[in-house]
Amino acid sequence: MKSWNPESVQNVLGRTKYIDDLPEPAGLLHGQPVVSKSAHGKLLSLDASAALALHPSVRVLTARDIPGENELGTAVSDEPLLVADEWTYRGQSLALVLADTRSLARRAAALVKIEGEELPVVTDPREARAKGMIILAPRTMRMGDPEAAFRDCAVVVSGRVESGGQEHVYLETQGATAQVRDGGGIFVLSGTQSPTGVQEAVARNLGLPMNAVEVDAPRLGGAFGGKEDQAAGWSALAALGAFVTGRPVKIYLNRKDDLTFTGKRHPYSSDYKLGLDAEGRILAFEVDYYQNSGACTDLSPAILSRTLFHAAGAYRIPNLRATGYMCRTNLPPFTAFRGFGAPQGIFVMEAALHKAAEAMGVDPIELQRKNLLRTGDSFHYGMPVEEARTERSVERALERSAWDRKRTEIDEFNRTRRDRKRGMAALPLCFGVSFTKLMMNQGGALVHVYRDGSVGVHTGAVEMGQGVNRKIQKVVALTLGIPEARVRIERTRTATVANTSPTAASTGTDLNGMAALVACEEIGKRLSAFRSESGLGDAPWETLVSKAHEARVDLSAHGFYATPGLFYDGKAERGSPFAYHVYGCAVLTAEVDVIRGTYRIDSATLVHDAGNMIDEVVDRGQAEGALAQGLGWALLEDLRYDGTGKLLSDTLSTYKLPDAHFLDFPLDLEFLADAPNPKAVLKSKAIGEPPFMYGIAGYFAVLDALKAARGDRLRVPGFHDLPLTPEKALDYLSGVIP
């Protein structure tokens, strides 16, 4: 067999077991949450009699049945597991119905009568802020003196930027199965990126110590951040059901429930002001982000901090002020999603730069190139820019995409064609890697070398398609000097590797791969000492291992890694929050149908800095997949709530994500050569999130074409309201959007 990813082999054979595929334990009950039907209200009464009468197996649990603390919030305690008095968004869990079958549970849940008093609903972040509905305090990062610098600017532009939310649409929906363990306690099989987070939530809700709760995370059918914090509630509910009834309980949301009940990428509304000198060098930037945080805090603070860290995009800005407000609205708590606040910030920066280009009548690429970060500059949070690969990436991308020639061709096309116009845009990338919450930058691993020479590896990393297991398998094989096929990556479980950070922030391999490497080095050290002591010479691995075992050498090791060099002073907003940065550049071209207002992406050229890749197939897949999601966010995916907080795009027939036709364009992807990264495992770089930003180039490529349809593309004002749906495109073409 070729050296395929062993887990992918199971996938294509259809043999991978996701949560809903596993055989159900005997006596299993299915759980269905009863949720609020409006976005804000006071719970007056909950009448379960009709539900209970439906079938003898039906049980209905409410907040009163929770033996521990009725709370899921970690940053701020504002998210009950089951609402006891006031619901704050539509789709919030009020009760849990249990029954023998899934359809019984669903029917019974529909029979639970809720009486409540409606309370005012706010869905708009600016309105929330005006009403003082802010989570924690506003946060500001500052460098230099923007107020003063604006006075020296030759060009000052300002504007407002909107970016919409985004639904994760992991193809496998949220789910968990919980069982009471022998000797008390609870075992949960959870579709989570954060097994420890689930363990902690279950322990807290049930009033148990963490060691009484074991959480296993099988391979996930996609997650993208949506199963970071937001998997905890479903697992905790299943655990509650099992704890109260003593029977196994499974909760598995159907698509519509998943879309309605769970949080998504944060929508942002932002105001900016950008000042440049006459040559187009940025002198000052001010920005206010109104983050629509939803009804509960969830991960909003960490997400906002990543927005603030990425306020300047890939540019050098000597004077900057960036302020973020977490605006509490009556929508499901917005949460982690690939990019984690960075795309929203970078989009504002790019919008500002494009606006400045319009004011100056120059091509945006000129301003982009003129202001790129260089080694020796300083980020606005005080961290020095080390080994910037911005210019390198941009110049290479322009060359590879034949930018100048293409620009001429496009201009010529636009001169001669009435029904179609083309456009092009670039996005230079700079993305910081590490959890913005310092404490989370640690990883653990437990490596067993079995006495036949095969190796079992446990880490805190959860495989969700991003290839972390594949990479760790290679790291271990390489470090021990054995074939990959001898290394097996085990399912993630809290009982083998404890106190893990969620698999998120693109750090899965950086942290867990490094921890595995540390463990392997420890075992390697013992084995090589044994090799020389015992005079085994160059005996093969298997012999060495079995002899070592006979000689009672410990063949297991725990490895631990904490990213070195990180510090941050939250008061001063200064420090070194990232282990390193990822660079790159995308060039996208697009074509607009001027009659119908539709468009398509024509081509993409990506030059991306992935360090020394551990697995090129995985990295290519991550880059392509991230671009796809970025384009979906920028152009297509239209998350809609109405004014009452009801989700309108609540099915896959109304929420459209990219399909194979949408993404049917040539994609030229080059990884930067000779770009080792001394700061991560085997000199690699994290890859999960950074290429998501390239989707932003899709927005500006389409906008460039639309501008060409309206007149002089260098001067016509654009608009910055993402996603750029066909509706907005036509509104812009017909002047409804000025």
Partner 1 sequence: MKRRLVFRVNERLVDAEAWEETLALDWLRRELGLTGTKEGCREGDCGACLVLLGERGEAGPVWKAVPSCLLALGELDGRHVVTIEGIAAAGLTPVMEAFLDQGASQCGFCSPGFIVALTAFLVEGRIDPVRTLVSIEGNLCRCTGYGSIRRAADRLTKDFADLPRDLGARLAVLGKRGVLPPSLAALMTSLPEPGSRPAAAPEGLNLGGGTDWFVRNPDPEPGTGVAFTDRQAGLGRIERTGDFLSVGAAVTVRAFFEDLLVRAHAPGIEAFEAQMASLPIRNRATLAGNVVNASPIADMTALLLALDARARLRSASGTRDLPLADFFLGYKKTALRDGEFLEALLLPAAAGPVRLNFEKVSKRESLDIATANTALALRTEEDRISWARLSVGGMAPVPLAARAASEYLVGKIPDAATAREAARLALQDCSPLSDVRGSAGYRTRLLERLVLAHFVRLFPDRGLLEEFWP
Closest separation in Å from C-beta 464 to partner 1: 6
Any idea what DSSP says for residue 271? E
Partner from ligand FES, partner 1, none contacting 667, C-beta within 5 to 8 A by type: partner 1
Q: Is 624 in the site for partner 1 (CB under 8 A)?
A: yes
Partner from ligand FES, partner 1, none contacting 634, C-beta within 5 to 8 A by type: none
Partner from ligand FES, partner 1, none contacting 163, C-beta within 5 to 8 A by type: none
Considering only residues 55, 407, 526, 600, which one is a binding residue for partner 1 as defined by CB under 8 A? Answer: 600
Closest separation in Å from C-beta 501 to partner 1: 20
Residue 5 vs 293, nearer CB to ligand FES: 5
Q: Is 688 in the site for partner 1 (CB under 8 A)?
A: no
Residues numbered 232-271 forming contacts with partner 1, rule: CB under 8 A: 254-255
Residue 16 vs 546, nearer CB to partner 1: 16
Sheet of strand 487-489: strand arrangement: 487-489, 455-459, 442-449, 556-562
Residue 48 vs 627, nearer CB to partner 1: 627
What's the burial of 142, exposed, middle or buried (CB within 10 Å: 0-12/13-18/19+)?
Answer: middle
* Per-residue mark of binding to ligand FES, 138-177 (x: CB under 6 A): ---------------------------------x------
Residue 62 vs 466, nearer CB to ligand FES: 466
Q: b or e along 407-440 (b: 16 or more beta carbons within 10 Å of the residue's beta carbon)? A: beebeeebeeeeebbbbbbbbbbbbbbbbbbbeb
In 181-259 the beta strands, taken as DSSP E runs, fall at 186-190, 213-217, 249-252
Partner from partner 1, ligand FES, none contacting 596, C-beta within 5 to 8 A by type: partner 1
Beta-strand relationship, 86-87 and 319-328: unpaired
Q: What does the block give as tokens for 464? A: 């969700």
* Per-residue mark of binding to partner 1, 171-210 (x: CB under 8 A): xx--------------------------------------
Indicate if 399 belongs to the active site. no
Three-class secondary structure of residue 90 per DSSP: coil
Residue 463 vs 609, nearer CB to ligand FES: 463
CA angle centred on 11, ends 9 and 16, rounded to 5°: 115
Residue 309 vs 337, nearer CB to partner 1: 337
Partner from ligand FES, partner 1, none contacting 378, C-beta within 5 to 8 A by type: none
Helical ranges in 378-513 per DSSP H? 390-400, 403-416, 468-480, 508
Nearest to 5 by CA among 620, 599, 639: 620
* Per-residue mark of binding to partner 1, 398-437 (x: CB under 8 A): --------------------xx------------------
Residue 224 vs 381, nearer CB to ligand FES: 224
Angstrom distance (rounded) from CA 321 to CA 497: 41
Residue 220 vs 706, nearer CB to partner 1: 220
Residues numbered 686-715 forming contacts with ligand FES, rule: CB under 6 A: none
Considering only residues 460, 465, 632, 690, which one is a binding residue for ligand FES as defined by CB under 6 A? Answer: 465
Q: Check 167, 172, 573, 689 and give the catalytic one.
A: 689
Q: Which residues pair with 140 in a beta bridge?
A: 323
Bond prior to 723 in cis (omega within 30° of 0): yes
Residues numbered 275-294 forming contacts with ligand FES, rule: CB under 6 A: none
Any idea what DSSP says for residue 641? B
Calculate the CA 364 to chain-centre distance.
Answer: 28
Angstrom distance (rounded) from CA 545 to CA 66: 50
Closest separation in Å from C-beta 472 to ligand FES: 19
Q: Is 106 in the site for partner 1 (CB under 8 A)?
A: yes
Residue 381 vs 699, nearer CB to partner 1: 699
Is 204 in contact with 48 (CB distance < 8 Å)? no
Residues numbered 449-508 forming contacts with partner 1, rule: CB under 8 A: 464-467
Residues numbered 717-736 forming contacts with partner 1, rule: CB under 8 A: 725-727, 730-731, 734, 736
Stretch that binds partner 1, among 209-217, 511-519, 633-641, 677-685 (CB under 8 A): 633-641
Count of residues touching partner 1 (by CB under 8 A): 81
Closest separation in Å from C-beta 193 to partner 1: 12
Q: Is 219 in the site for partner 1 (CB under 8 A)?
A: yes
Partner from partner 1, ligand FES, none contacting 113, C-beta within 5 to 8 A by type: none
Q: What does the block give as tokens for 113? A: 């009568």
Is 526 in contact with 554 (CB distance < 8 Å)? yes
Nearest to 577 by CA among 359, 306, 388, 313: 306
* Per-residue mark of binding to partner 1, 365-404 (x: CB under 8 A): ----------------------------------------
* Per-residue mark of binding to ligand FES, 3-22 (x: CB under 6 A): --------------------
Is 126 in contact with 290 (CB distance < 8 Å)? yes
Q: Is 16 in the site for partner 1 (CB under 8 A)?
A: yes
Tell me the CA distances in angstroms from 437 to 215, 515, 573, one per residue in order. 23, 19, 13
Closest separation in Å from C-beta 701 to partner 1: 16
Angstrom distance (rounded) from CA 179 to CA 202: 12
Residues numbered 652-681 forming contacts with partner 1, rule: CB under 8 A: 652-654, 656-664, 667
Q: Which residues pair with 659 in a beta bridge?
A: none
Three-class secondary structure of residue 360 per DSSP: helix
What's the burial of 532, exposed, middle or buried (CB within 10 Å: 0-12/13-18/19+)?
Answer: exposed
Considering only residues 41, 125, 218, 222, which one is a binding residue for ligand FES as defined by CB under 6 A? Answer: 222
Angstrom distance (rounded) from CA 224 to CA 338: 5
What's the burial of 57, exposed, middle or buried (CB within 10 Å: 0-12/13-18/19+)?
Answer: middle
Q: Is 638 in the site for partner 1 (CB under 8 A)?
A: yes
Three-class secondary structure of residue 505 per DSSP: coil
Residue 312 vs 722, nearer CB to partner 1: 722
Closest separation in Å from C-beta 11 to partner 1: 3
Residue 158 vs 254, nearer CB to ligand FES: 254
Tell me the CA distances in angstroms from 134 to 437, 573, 648, one per residue in order. 21, 20, 25
What's the burial of 202, exposed, middle or buried (CB within 10 Å: 0-12/13-18/19+)?
Answer: buried
Angstrom distance (rounded) from CA 106 to CA 121: 27
User: Looking at beta carbons, which residue is closest to ligand FES?
Assistant: 171
Count of residues touching ligand FES (by CB under 6 A): 3
Q: Is 467 in the site for ligand FES (CB under 6 A)?
A: no
Nearest to 703 by CA among 686, 678, 679, 722: 722
Closest separation in Å from C-beta 255 to ligand FES: 8
Three-class secondary structure of residue 115 per DSSP: strand
Nearest to 356 by CA among 158, 597, 87, 581: 158
Is 488 in contact with 521 (CB distance < 8 Å)? no
Residues numbered 171-210 forming contacts with ligand FES, rule: CB under 6 A: 171
Considering only residues 554, 617, 643, 644, which one is a binding residue for partner 1 as defined by CB under 8 A? Answer: 617
- Catalytic residue numbers? 689
Judged by the rule CB under 6 A, the positions of this chain that interact with ligand FES are: 171, 222, 465
